[in-house]
Amino acid sequence: MEFLKNLRDPLLVKKLLKAIERTHTGKTVKIMEVCGGHTHAIVRYGLNKLLGELGIEFLHGPGCPVCVMPKERIDQAIAIARQPGVILTTYGDMMRVPGSSSSLIKERSLGRDIRMVYSPLESLEIAKQNPEKLVVFFAIGFETTTPMTAGLLELAIKEGIKNLLVHVNHVLVLPAMEAVIKESEIKAFIGPGHVSAIIGGKAYKPFVEKYKVPVVISGFEPVDILESVLLILRQLKEGRAEVEIQYSRAVNWEGNIKAQELIDKYFEPRETFRWRGLGDIPFSALKLKEEYSQFDAEVYFKDILPDKSSEDHKLCICGEILKGKAKPTDCKIFGTACTPQNPVGACMVSSEGACAAYYKYVHGLVSSV
């Protein structure tokens, strides 16, 4: 707790704000925080308002894995869950994300065997306890959760489990950053903390060299984020564009080599993947390598998987928010027709979604989520 107290220390916050004020040139600077965890911290602690007054604007990026999952992948999970003898497992956040005409939670209420797991390894236990059933893990997430899915496969192979499949939806942060930087006026990025613990600071170097924008990998506490903004402003002032690691208590330059090896062992890049709101981005997601296709739900169920789905709700501007072109409050149905209890778009569903963060913190609206 002492540790957290320091990272939320009002005196330190004031000092950092003063340093930011001294360093900032006065021109409006648009900084994108990639990760939904950062979005929540920024709006929770009112940093967007504090820094907004100084001309520093936060753009909320595409780093919420639930928000970027396209409807067709959810439709595919639903189609699998409707097959007889299937138990579908996934993380809790995915349950309420609307597909074309249903969601996993609606399907569960209709009697499908859909189970929420906190760790992929729970799917292995479910498979062992239900040998007559086929267990399908609907795997989502950025590089943070990919090693855990790889670990599930590693154990399944070791233990000779035959009734387990994985529907792989693991996405990659750098292609998403490339997609958004081409479309908006981003001057710098606050790099994601958890993803970077896996891929390391060095993964951003080619990106920084290509686009000449600073990337500062940040922790999630107010002091972390303010210090990261200060590092960014110093770089901008000095005309530098570098990768810096503010979150050095969790992230290093090389990343987690074992986790990277595990990812490389089981997965390879997909040629293209459709992101909700961002469209098709080449080599932006992973798929299982062919030698592990016996675990691939997309191979096993290839004849029943829908590949087309309905458009997002016409009033939902989630895609524009994920590109940093709009704020949740720009949406006409924010907080009225769309709430965490009745989400219309994915950005309101996830605990990492920008709309959910604004609903909870900016407007002080009470949410049970």
Nearer to ligand SF4 among residue 67 and residue 104 (C-beta)? 67
To ligand SF4, the closest distance from the beta carbon of 108 in angstroms equals: 22
Tell the burial category of 131 from Cβ atoms under 10 Å away from its Cβ (0-12, 13-18, 19+): exposed
29-35, strands of its sheet edge to edge = 56-63, 29-35, 188-191, 215-217, 243-245
To ligand SF4, the closest distance from the beta carbon of 347 in angstroms equals: 4
SS3 264: helix
To ligand SF4, the closest distance from the beta carbon of 81 in angstroms equals: 24
Binding mask 256-295 for ligand SF4 (x = CB under 6 A): ----------------------------------------
To ligand SF4, the closest distance from the beta carbon of 339 in angstroms equals: 8
To ligand SF4, the closest distance from the beta carbon of 110 in angstroms equals: 24
Question: Quick check: 215 binds ligand SF4 (CB under 6 A)?
Answer: no
Nearer to ligand SF4 among residue 168 and residue 346 (C-beta)? 346
Query: Which residue in the set 13, 86, 322, 355 belongs to the binding site for ligand SF4 (CB under 6 A)?
Result: 355
Nearer to ligand SF4 among residue 15 and residue 363 (C-beta)? 363
According to DSSP H, which parts of the chain are helical? 2-7, 10-23, 36-44, 47-52, 71-81, 104-109, 121-129, 146-158, 173-181, 193-199, 205-211, 222-237, 257-266, 297-300, 318-322, 346-349, 354-357
Q: Tokens 């990025």 map to which residue?
A: 189
Question: Taking CB under 6 A as the criterion, which residues in 313-352 touch ligand SF4?
Answer: 315-318, 321, 328, 331, 333-334, 338, 344-345, 347-348
Radius of gyration of the chain (CA): 21
To ligand SF4, the closest distance from the beta carbon of 169 in angstroms equals: 19
Nearer to ligand SF4 among residue 210 and residue 363 (C-beta)? 363
Q: Which stretch binds ligand SF4 (CB under 6 A): 95-103, 118-126, 202-210, 311-319?
A: 311-319
User: Applying CB under 6 A, what is the total number of residues that bind ligand SF4?
Assistant: 15
CA distance 74 to 253: 35
Q: Which residues pair with 164 in a beta bridge?
A: 135
Q: Which stretch binds ligand SF4 (CB under 6 A): 137-145, 162-170, 202-210, 312-320?
A: 312-320
Nearer to ligand SF4 among residue 6 and residue 329 (C-beta)? 329
Helix and strand numbers, DSSP H then E, in the chain: 17, 13
CA distance 15 to 26: 18
CA distance 20 to 288: 45
Nearer to ligand SF4 among residue 106 and residue 313 (C-beta)? 313
Contact (CB, 8 A) for 213 and 30: no
To ligand SF4, the closest distance from the beta carbon of 367 in angstroms equals: 13
Nearer to ligand SF4 among residue 198 and residue 318 (C-beta)? 318
How many Cα atoms within 13 Å fall on the side-chain side of residue 282?
0
Type of residue found at 316:
C
Query: Shortest Cβ contact with ligand SF4: which residue?
Result: 345
Q: Which stretch binds ligand SF4 (CB under 6 A): 131-139, 161-169, 191-199, 309-317?
A: 309-317
Nearer to ligand SF4 among residue 231 and residue 349 (C-beta)? 349
Contact (CB, 8 A) for 312 and 29: no
CA distance 293 to 246: 40
**Would the CA dihedral through 345, 348, 351, 357 be positive or negative?**
positive
Interface with ligand SF4 (CB under 6 A): 315-318, 321, 328, 331, 333-334, 338, 344-345, 347-348, 355
